[in-house]
Amino acid sequence: MRPILTLSLLASALLLAGCDQLGIESAAVVAEKRSAEGKAIGGACRHAARAIEDCYTLNKKADKAAVYAGWRDMDDYMRENKLEPVLPQIKPEPKKKPPPADGEEAVADAGTETKDGKDAAASAHGKH
């Protein structure tokens, strides 16, 4: 009975050792990649003269501690080497409004004014 147990343990150990070859990453590797990505995001934000709060807002899925570490490291590096931030040259595209659902009218937001100073929502419904 012992040889069967030994063989099954050996076989399972060999199969588990092959997980890396199958593309299955361990939790430690995933955490290390997430941290490195957060540091890269933070460093890029600092280099582009973004405030850390803006960086958090623009990268909600990134690990905040790693983003801050990257931002701080880049800040130290830029100060030591007297580097100026590089301002972004490409303007972000404005967000598109989703199309109205079936059966809904495309009505302007309440409280917005038209060119003549009247409320857009009231004008859309014929109210002045």
- Site of tokens 């803006």: 54
State the burial class of residue 39 (Cβ atoms within 10 Å of its Cβ: 0-12, 13-18, 19+).
Answer: buried
What tokens does 110 get? 């309440």
Note whether 42 and 66 are within 8 A (CB): yes
Q: Is residue 86 part of a domain?
A: yes
Torsion of CA 31, 32, 35, 37, to 10 degrees: -110
Q: How far is the C-alpha of 39 from the C-alpha of 29, rounded, in Å?
A: 15
Say how many domains are in the chain: 1
Q: Is the entire prediction scored with pTM above 0.75?
A: no
- In the prediction, which pLDDT does 60 show? 93
Q: How far is the C-alpha of 128 from the C-alpha of 119, rounded, in Å?
A: 8
Domain that holds residue 53: 25-90
User: For 50-105, how does the pLDDT look when each residue is reduced to its tens digit (9 = 90+)?
Assistant: 999 999 999 999 999 999 999 999 999 999 999 999 987 777 677 777 777 776 66
Q: Is residue 33 part of a domain?
A: yes
User: For 20-58, how does the pLDDT look when each residue is reduced to its tens digit (9 = 90+)?
Assistant: 566 777 888 889 999 999 999 999 999 999 999 999 999
